[in-house]
A and B are shown apart, each in its own frame.
Chain A
Amino acid sequence: MHTTIDRTKIPEAGPVPDFTLLDETKLSRAQLSNGINVWLYRYKKLPVAQVHLAVHTGAFSDPVEKAGLTNLFAEMLDEGTKNRSALQIADDFDFLGTNFNTWSSMDGCGATMLSLREHLDESLDVFADVLKAPEFPEQELARVRQNVLTSILQEEDQPNVLATKVFVKKIYGKDHPYGSSPLGTTESVQSVTAKDLKEKYKRHFKPNNASIIVVGDIELPELNEKLEKALSEWKQGDVPKVNLPQIPDRECAAVYLVNRTEAAQSQIRIGHRGIERTHKDYFPVRVMNQILGGQFTSRINLNLREDKGYTYGAASIWEMRKFGGHFITTGGFQGEYTDRSVEEIMKELHRIREEGVTGDELEAAKDGLIRSLPRQFETPSQIASQLANVALYGLPDNYYDTYVDNVQQVSTEDVKRVASDYIHPSKAAVVVVGDVDKIKSPLEKLGIGDVIEIEYKG
């Protein structure tokens, strides 16, 4: 059956498969009497259920002097309730074979759970207990706090973590919560009390400030009934509005060095203020970043890794949050090529804002973004996370229905416009964690801006 094929030619792609993301026949929404939004996506491939709770209160509401409060809060949620001890909670989940975790980020916090469908009821009972009756016991707090403090100490071992911490502080300044590390500082974590955690629970952790997403083989009426029963004691209430300071604009570029004697690699972060998740230019920025540094075949990675061999990988990221964001290029680079790596990245930033991108690059980036969508909705946890993002950032209900059109509409002019409007190498903060004796003078010779050595202390 040897049909000959012409190997010298790239195969033709077959017809584009027909596919509806988040098929409306499978997706339902509801609201419980306590105000929580419920999203159900019916999934039948395997007898499992994923539950994802997203409460719209994240580290953005932490006072800067209590940085790390939200992280500690999430860590403490499952450390004891009115009905169960910390060990009891873990044992109940483990015995059911249910994977349970709490989570927190700058913009939200909550919990996720993956259980067998047959154990959903029992698992939900424990899950609900954790949400509606956490006690934040002093004794457990002492242990968990010590754990977080030790993690903060261990961050000093990791040049990649250090570099990002120093970078965000430079971008957001001292007063904005986005400038703090998610774990907080030694001092701030020591200052958080059980009373602070209870206060956060009382003020912000409210069902009417939350969404719960369930992916599994269950019908909405049955789910609603279960959740009403399990969560009815979790009462709604007013949630105070948080006012955040302005994110400062940088005047000029500067290089900040953190010393790591004899480091074989330099961790480099370059960037500045960015845009918020709901910004009108979200789509052109996404397309532009695919070309700049958002994937393996992006300009930055092909240049620095595949052409020069300076790094194992380099990327650019737009961290888009509720109340603003930042743009950052990131990677670890061979120490002796630190200056050249900075130079090449800066060159790429200038190039995209001055020259824009070609029609071919644009089409490839748009195709990639659109065609990659289906595979991002494969597992229950992927589906739940996608929906949680829509909920957390208040994206329109038809967000995924219009996604393809929104990407398709982006033109080379749009890309050039957003590149020149939002990428500013002349105002960038360049953070380098490396061997200062070896890299400082070459970096000074680049003439980007002042080269400032800073002491790092957690």
Chain B
Amino acid sequence: MSLNGSVTFEKYKLDNGLDVILHIDRTLPVVAVNLWYHVGSAREVPGKSGFAHLFEHMMFQGSQNAGAGLHFKIIEDAGGTLNGSTTTDRTNYWATVPKNYLAHILWLESDRMGWLLSAMTQKKLDTQIDVVKNERRQNYDNRPYGLAFEILSKHLYPEDHPYSWTTIGSMEDISNASLEDVKSFFKRYYGPNNASLCIGGDITVDEAKNLVEQYFGDISSGPPVGKLVPRIPDLDDAKYVIHEDNVQLPRLYTAWHTSYLYGKGDAEVDLVVDALARGKNSRLYRSLVYEKQIAQDVSFFHLSREIGSLAIVVATARPGNTLDEIQRAIDEEINTFIRDGLTDREYERIRNAQKSSFTYSLQKVGGFFGVTDRLNEYNVFLDDPGFINKDLDRYLSADKESIRAAAKKYVQPDKRVVLSIVPKGKKELAVKT
């Protein structure tokens, strides 16, 4: 990393198609290994929902040479930390360890990339099916408002759109997963040509290259995996949905289709969201929480995804207030924003926030959203890890008018899904249709 904050790296490709990105940072005697497979729940087919995520669990159950339990054991004994995650668009695995354990991580990752299947057993699959069903119970079914995103997705996308289901999948589909599914999914999507390996931290380039070649060089390519093409549905009308849950307070979710990840308008919508709901002086927070005091909280986030993004406002009503009032207050702020655009001070404020956030985002080499994770993201979606040094320009080059125009284009009152989650038996608190 140079002092002006630009991230340095070297990218090359192995013969089998594996992308390799090396990034030196000698602040600590630590290395971060981050591996992305360009497959997520969007590659699932109906009846197999949740499989990409269940498969992520199976990747930790041992491979031909690195037996069951070794993965966690080696990394924890080395004082390292690790995790993996599955989204609609990709699956990532990372570990951060003392630098003298780099070979261990490359051994573990390459062994499961090349030699996973011989170690798979029905017993391992059955246990992880139970673990994942417990994950679903804990984080979705048994969590207040935990089903919101699943319900929204179902109403935002047609049944044959892969974003119409969520990464956790349905209980039924999770239960039905078979060893045959594990095998075919692995062969189809887990080849080196569908992966991107980023190694960051206190490394020497020659040593890292040698190790990568030794461990990954003899893994065969898989079949080519084509890119998914953006497919953004056009809602004809506003849809209103009510869900009763075990909660004390009603919560409103209003969702719009926007652009797609790194597509035209993507950065502008991020800025709309910043102006409307980032900080105490943002328009929605100030109106709903600070002044009118009808909401406990309000957030607005832009979920940018490979084949279609969503902008979602979430607000929880204070006791005694209805979601109808909340919706009216949100609409009022959005309409004013679409009509008048940003003030000069707001514009400066959200630009400054983007600038400092960019610098802050370079603090961590490993882990989720660390520099290695972001180099992989730019590489997988744009084939250009160097975009890490250009991305801020997308935000700084947006002028006031383009931000207003993005709000006008994407955040329309008649093209949205409005979900009211209300306490059981309290449908009268929902947004009126």
Contact = CB atoms under 8 A, between A and B. Distances in A.
Interface in B196-212: 202, 210
A62 B141 CA distance: 37
Given A48-B363, A86-B280, A143-B290, A97 B353 contact: yes
B103 A11 contact: yes
B85 interface: no
A97 B115 CA distance: 48
Contacts of B330: none
A265 interface: yes
A17 B29 contact: yes
A379 interface: yes
Contacts of A90: 279-281
Interface string A112-129: 001110010000000000
Contacts of B353: 94, 97
Contacts of A378: 27-28, 30, 363-365
Contacts of B69: 297, 302, 306
Nearest to B361: A46
B309 interface: no
B64 to A, nearest CB: 8
Contacts of A306: 69, 127, 131
A310 B130 contact: yes
Contacts of B202: 17
Interface in A268-321: 295-297, 302, 305-312
B79 A369 contact: yes
A370 interface: yes
Interface string A21-62: 000000000000000000000000111100000000000000
Interface size class of B (residues with CB under 8 A): 35 or more
B79 A158 contact: no
B290 A87 contact: yes
Contacts, number: 224
Given A87-B280, A143-B293, A367-B77, A19 B360 contact: no
Interface string B321-353: 000000000000000000000000100110011
B329 to A, nearest CB: 16
Contact of A265 (B142, B248, B293, B352): B142
A151 B247 CA distance: 12
Highest count of chain A CB atoms <10 Å: which of B102, B138, B144: B138
B363 A380 contact: yes
Contacts of A4: 214
Given A45-B1, A370-B79, A379 B364 contact: yes
Interface in A358-411: 364, 367-375, 377-381
A371 B31 CA distance: 13
Contacts of A312: 131, 134-135, 137-139
B121 interface: no
Contacts of B348: 95
Nearest to B110: A7
A374 B214 CA distance: 28
Interface residues on A, range: 35 or more
Interface in B4-57: 5, 25, 27-30
A299 B422 CA distance: 41
Contacts of B134: 265, 309-312, 332-334
Given A11-B104, A94-B349, A371-B79, A309 B249 contact: no
A5 B106 CA distance: 12
Contact of B362 (A12, A14, A46, A150): A46
A259 to B, nearest CB: 12
A309 B279 contact: no
Given A47-B359, A96-B352, A157-B246, A371 B78 contact: yes
A45, A159, A302, A307 — most chain B CB neighbours (10 Å): A45
B210 A3 contact: yes
B349 A95 contact: yes
A309 B293 CA distance: 44
Contacts of A97: 352-353, 355-357
B319 interface: yes
A15 interface: yes
B141 A264 contact: yes
Contacts of B217: 2
Contact of B131 (A15, A295, A309): A309
A256 B64 CA distance: 46
B5 A46 contact: yes
A371 B131 contact: no
Given A46-B362, A264-B137, A8 B27 contact: no
Given A97-B355, A97-B357, A157 B144 contact: yes
Interface string B55-87: 000000000111001101110111111000000
Given A13-B101, A95-B348, A367-B79, A18 B29 contact: yes
Contacts of B362: 46
Interface stretch (B92-100, B231-239, B255-263, B407-415): B92-100
A83 interface: no
Contact of B248 (A154, A364, A373): A154
Nearest to B297: A147
B357 A5 contact: no
Q: Which of A264, A310, A334 has the most CB of B within 10 A?
A: A264
Given A14-B100, A374-B98, A47 B80 contact: no
Given A154-B296, A264-B137, A368 B349 contact: no
B77 A7 contact: no
A3 B139 CA distance: 46
Interface string A152-169: 011011110000000000
A13 B97 CA distance: 11
A229 to B, nearest CB: 24
Contact of A296 (B72, B214, B279, B360): B72
Nearest to B127: A309
A158 B65 CA distance: 42
Given A48-B360, A146-B318, A375 B78 contact: no
B111 interface: yes
Contacts of B247: 154, 157
Contact of A377 (B28, B131, B143): B28
B65 A7 contact: yes
A364 B359 contact: no
Contacts of B102: 14
A296 B75 CA distance: 10
A16 interface: yes
B215 interface: yes
Contact of A375 (B77, B96, B249): B96
Given A47-B359, A48-B363, A263-B142, A309 B65 contact: no
Nearest to A332: B138
A117 B393 CA distance: 21
B363 A46 contact: yes
A332 B5 contact: no
A293 to B, nearest CB: 13
A380 B359 CA distance: 13
Given A87-B286, A265-B138, A368 B29 contact: no
16 contacts: A2-B213, A10-B66, A90-B279, A95-B352, A97-B357, A143-B290, A154-B249, A265-B142, A297-B73, A306-B127, A306-B131, A311-B134, A364-B76, A367-B77, A378-B30, A378-B364
Interface of B: 1, 3, 5, 25, 27-30, 64-66, 69-70, 72-74, 76-81, 96-104, 107, 111, 115, 126-131, 133-135, 137-139, 141-144, 202, 210, 213-215, 217-218, 246-249, 278-281, 286, 289-290, 293, 296, 316, 318-319, 345, 348-349, 352-353, 355-357, 359-360, 362-366
Query: Which 3 pairs across A and B sit closest by C-beta, in order of nearness?
Result: A371-B79, A97-B356, A309-B130
